[in-house]
Amino acid sequence: MKKRFVLWTVILFPIYAYLVYLYLFHWTGTGVPASYQGTAADPATFMTAKELELSQDFSRYKDFLFFVGLPLEGLIYLGVLIFGVSPIFKQFGERLSRFSFVKIPIYVLLLSAFTWILTFPIYYAERMLSVAYGISTQSFSSWMRDELLGFWIGVLIMSVLITVLYWLMKRFTKRWWLYAWILLIPFLIFMMYIQPVVIDPLYNDFSELDDPVLQEKILNMADEADIPAERVYEVDMSEKTNAMNAYVNGIGSNLRIVLWDTTLNHLKDREVLFIMAHEIGHYVMNHLYYNLAGVIISSLVGLYLAYRLLHMVIRKWGSSWGVKNVADISSLPALFIILSLLSFAASPIELAISRDAEKAADMYAIEMTEDKEAAVGAFQELTVNGLTDVNPPALVKFFRYGHPTMMERILMLKEHGKE
């Protein structure tokens, strides 16, 4: 099995990477359809020739790294199982403690560190690409700090979840997936509640918006939409990126309206107001809660399918991997592979739903602001600033885009209100 794994990986992965290269760089075109050329959605009308060339190249390389990196974690987890590394991680934890609340987190730490190290080249290549094209302004030390912070936060959260999950597996052989789902619901709500005030500030500095006039206009819009916000937060992102963003997140008393300082630096106030109206639209139409409900429902289906598939996989290959049973922590890489495959299979549906929600938020924003010119200007500036491909290849949109393409968004706004 080891030789076959190495052989097939060495043969198939380069072929897959080459096919991705051909698709992105040779089999798909760039630009907009002829019928849209010369319109506000045509980047040639609002980007220089150099910006247009950079945006096309940047998008292709970025998408290439995404698709090439997509199967890497799964291959690593499979290698960990086939080469017997998983039982070694388990034994190391058992030598340190016999208690599950100690040995399972140790296993999670070892597996996470091993995977992080092997996938680091992809993340570093993405950073270097972003730096080379002027999107990222973050120093290497700052970037590494964020990466390590994300790693340790991920390990901490995952350790808790996996410890509880494997206790349920041992305690409830046939119903662990259901009880895990029941416990997951309050956890998701809790994370949604603390995200704006506990996790986000670990990465960036938040302060009250420095422009009182603009803040008052945004709060007036929020009040019109019955959003219980007393201030608008500005986050210092210019030391890390030239990209722009704004969002409304959190629930209850922890709800926050947030603007990146890069958005304030690059957009006119009218354009900022349109962007904020879009984010307010998500809140008014309860997209935050629909998204939470979607995660909860999909988690139920995912956990049940994982329960069925994990039993089949361990029954067939568990002995050759040194995995005693499903409740053996050594089975975790197999569970991760299954969940990753299920997530990948569901992603086109989730992204399609997200694109529909984003379209609805765009419509809400244009109706609230009644400023079509500012809306189009904002999207054009976002395109230039982020070197965005306004009309990406079909597979890129299908597997990557949670928003409509910039071409679709600008055309929709231009057509809004016409008979």
As annotated, the active-site residues are 279
Q: Residue by residue, what is the 3-state secondary structure of 111-151?
A: HHHHHHHHHHHHHHHHHHHHHHCCCECCCHHHHHHHHHHHH
Question: Is 410 strand, coil or helix?
Answer: helix
By residue count, the chain amounts to 419
Token readout for 177 is 């997936």
Cα–Cα–Cα angle for 375, 377, 381, rounded to 5 degrees: 120
Which class for 181: exposed (0-12), middle (13-18), buried (19 or more C-beta within 10 A)?
Answer: middle
Q: Is 404 left (phi over 0), alpha (psi -120 to 50) or beta?
A: beta
Taking the CA atoms of the chain, what radius of gyration do you get in angstroms? 24
Please compute, for residue 299, the number of CA atoms within 13 A of its CA located in the half-sphere on the CB side.
18
Residue type, 324: K
CA distance 389 to 404: 12
397: nearest Cα among 164, 5, 66: 66
Angstrom distance (rounded) from CA 249 to CA 320: 46
What is the residue type of 61?
Y
Cα–Cα distance measured from residue 335 to residue 111, given in angstroms and rounded to the nearest whole number: 13
Residue 66: is it exposed, middle or buried by C-beta count within 10 angstroms (0-12/13-18/19+)?
middle
The span from the CA of 38 to the CA of 348, in Å, is: 31
User: C-alpha 223: how far from its chain's center?
Assistant: 30
